Amino acid sequence: MLKKRIIPCLDVDNGRVVKGVNFIDLVDAGDPVEQAIIYNAEGADELCFLDITASSDNRDTLLEVVKKTAENCFIPLTVGGGVRNLDDISRLLHFGADKVSINTAAVDNIDLVAKAANKYGSSTIVIAVDAKETAENQWKVFTHGGRKETNIDVVTYCNEVAKLGAGEILLTSMDRDGTKSGFDNKLLKAVTSKVNVPVIASGGVGNLSHLLDGILEGEASALLAASIFHFGEYSIGEVKRYLADNNIPVRI
């Protein structure tokens, strides 16, 4: 049976791991390569780096991190943040990323999704969507790290990028990110029930039952979390044992 994936996410700023609360007030949580090696050994199913370095001047620091991680961790590595075009994707793949996630650039230029999927394969292209509830059971796509509102409906957008060749959707709830109050399972369900590619749930995990709810209520294929792992609240092993005890198929 296909396993539900647990993906620790490392937000990286200038080559260091950080985790924001609602995308601001960043706290340093260490060296990304060291963290990645620990997660790999603990049984993470994939790894995710999101480069939140604001200026493009310091982007090369991430490439070194990706390269060193790929030399040490033999599980899939997704890298995103500031990916604007095919050259950016090509560079990340060359340095050892297995998948590249695209956020704002896909909203600005939806053709990029099809071009990237055609060139590198659907399996390589993750579309990251930052969603915020703007009315009851209605979510809009936000861009630029959540700072800019668009008028685009999240479910419609996810369907469109899936049709254009996105292999997977990384769906982050802006309302929940950093709050530790659980995933927005209504948002997840709205997308997973309508879109036929795997959806990674992101934003809001504070405890083990939140993870279980993301699968049972949100019907996510994979769960992404940052702070609960970085600050040692739970190990990957604990998370997987808890899910296994609740009859969720996981890789142990």
Partner 1 sequence: MNLAIINFGSGNLHSVHKAFESVSSDLSNPYNIIVTNDPKEIQSADKIVLPGVGAFGDCKNAILNIEGLHASLEVSVIKNKVPFMGICVGMQLLADLSYEFGTHSGFGWIPGEVRRIASPKEYKIPHMGWNEITFSDHKLFDNCEQGSDFYFVHSFYFQNQKNEHSIATTKYPDQITAAVCKENICGTQFHPEKSHINGKKIIHNFLEWKP
Task: State whether residue 203 is helix, strand or coil.
Answer: coil
Closest contact distance (angstroms) between CB of 74 and partner 1 is 5
Angle between helices 111-120 and 86-94 (to 10 degrees): 30
Identity of the amino acid at 183:
F
Task: State whether residue 38 is helix, strand or coil.
Answer: helix
244: its two tokens = 């296994």
25 is annotated as an active-site residue? no
Closest contact distance (angstroms) between CB of 67 and partner 1 is 8
In the complex with partner 1, the residue whose CB is nearer, 5 or 19, is 5
In the complex with partner 1, the residue whose CB is nearer, 7 or 228, is 7
CA 173, CA 132: separation in Å to the nearest integer? Answer: 6
> Within the chain, where are the H helices?
32-42, 60-72, 86-94, 104-108, 111-120, 154-164, 185-192, 208-216, 227-230, 236-245
Closest contact distance (angstroms) between CB of 122 and partner 1 is 6
Would you give the DSSP letter of residue 207? S
In the complex with partner 1, the residue whose CB is nearer, 181 or 235, is 235
**Among the options 13, 51, 130, 177, which is catalytic?**
130
Closest contact distance (angstroms) between CB of 81 and partner 1 is 19
In the complex with partner 1, the residue whose CB is nearer, 142 or 229, is 229
11 is annotated as an active-site residue? yes
Per-residue burial over 136-166, b if 16 or more Cβ lie within 10 Å, else e, is: eeebbbbbebbeeebebbbbebbbbbbebbb
Q: Which residues bind partner 1 (CB under 8 A)?
A: 1-5, 40, 45, 67, 70-71, 74-77, 93-98, 118-124, 167-168, 196-199, 221-222, 251
Catalytic residues: 11, 130
